[in-house]
Amino acid sequence: MEPPMNKSFAGFVLLGFSDMPQLLLPLSSFFLVSYTLSIAGNIFLSLLIMSQRQLHTPMYFLMGNLAFVDVCFSSIIIPRALYGLLSGDTFISIHGCFIQFFLFLAVANMDSFLLAIMAFDRYCAICFPLRYLIIMNRRTCIYLVAFSWITACLRSTFYTVLISSQMFCSWVIQHFFCDVPVIMMLSCTDISASLHNADFIESSIFIFGPVLFILITYILIIRAVSALQSSQGRWRTFSTCSSHLTMVILLYSSVIFMYFRPSSIYSPSYDRVISVVFTVINPTLNPFIYSLRNKDVKNSVRKMLK
């Protein structure tokens, strides 16, 4: 390992997938196609929600915000990774790395918060249908989204300032972007161990907190739906949650495996594969999951095309 470096060093080396040269062309094609689909799908969904009056409801307001977050998510990660694959340039400046670090952490937290708010929205719609528009009015939705952005940015700022002030024992990052755990692994200061422990506790709150909230809301939803006498009514009600539940499973299964597995099974190769799932595949699939499994969206698309 290289000797400790102070903040005057030029930057980091993102190894990315340079140790797998046989996959460079397939990965470049995959990243390019995924980015194009992600940007096109999420922007189209956002424009559809804004242009169609029947979609001006709390659920679609939150869905439009999620589409915007997914555009940011893809744009923060994929272009830099694609540039590295095509050009072979693995260098990233220290400022560029920590800007990416800050933006990625803020957007990832915002993604998690939005899924929790959408679960609450579904809970209110199913369990309190007559009071739904009173509880989830436009002002409430705006306040919830604004509070989530403020919280996500504050957490990201705290981490960025804390970690960027560390001494680093290496400038080589075995990843394709500046992720939280891989940057922390480069720290060689005396507080690095306590920093890892604090990160685990704090990340547990910000990740498992929304997961626990979503789990509780779905338990209450299932209990309310089970009281319905009509099996067709139960199926119709569950179908309104299927898209959201699919996104929750895709996101949190990869995130929990990535950030909460035992250090004994750490592997840079596995990290990169799992990171591709929630930074590339998830933002690409989200607009199609909502479009293909949502009758209102499909009807609005038909109306727009006509």
pLDDT at 201: 64
pLDDT of residue 241: 79
> Domains plus CATH for the chain?
11-300 (1.20.1070.10)
**Residue closest to 133 by CA, chosen among 61, 67, 70:** 61
pTM: predicted TM-score of the whole model, two decimal places: 0.87
Joined together, the tokens standing for residue 280 give 């590339």
Model pLDDT, residue 43: 93
Three-state SS annotation for the chain: CCCCECCCCCEEEECCCCCCHHHHHHHHHHHHHHHHHHHHHHHHHHHHHHHCHHHCCHHHHHHHHHHHHHHHHHHHHHHHHHHHHHHCCCEEEHHHHHHHHHHHHHHHHHHHHHHHHHHHHHHHHHHCCCCHHHHCCHHHHHHHHHHHHHHHHHHHHHHHHHHHCCCECCCEECCCCCCHHHHHHCECCCCHHHHHHHHHHHHHHHHHHHHHHHHHHHHHHHHHHHCCCCHHHHHHHHHHHHHHHHHHHHHHHHHHHHHCCCHHHCCHHHHHHHHHHHHHHHHHHHHHHHHHCCHHHHHHHHHHHC
164 φ/ψ sector (left φ>0, alpha ψ -120 to 50, else beta): alpha
| pLDDT value of residue 4 | 47
Residues 34, 55: Cα–Cα separation, whole Å: 26
Q: What percent of the chain has pLDDT over 90?
A: 29
The Cα 273–Cα 207 span in angstroms is: 20
| pLDDT for position 7 | 47
Q: What does the pLDDT read at residue 292?
A: 66
What is the structure's pLDDT at 189?
A: 64
Report, as ranges of residue numbers, the positions in the chain whose pLDDT lies below 70: 1-9, 189-204, 228-234, 237, 261-268, 292-293
Say if residues 10 and 93 touch (Cβ distance below 8 Å): yes
Cβ neighbours of residue 233 under 8 Å, at least 6 residues apart? none
Instruction: State residue 101's pLDDT score.
Output: 92
Report residue 47 CA to chain centroid gap. 21
**Closest C-alpha among 37, 225, 274 to residue 126:** 225
CA–CA gap between residue 30 and residue 40 (Å, rounded): 15
Amino acid 249 reads I
Residue 191's pLDDT is what? 53
pLDDT tens digits, one per residue of 152-196? 999 899 888 888 887 888 788 888 888 887 887 787 765 555 555
Strand order in the sheet with 172-173: 91-93, 11-14, 172-173
Per-residue pLDDT of 57-72, as tens digits, reads 998 999 999 999 999 9
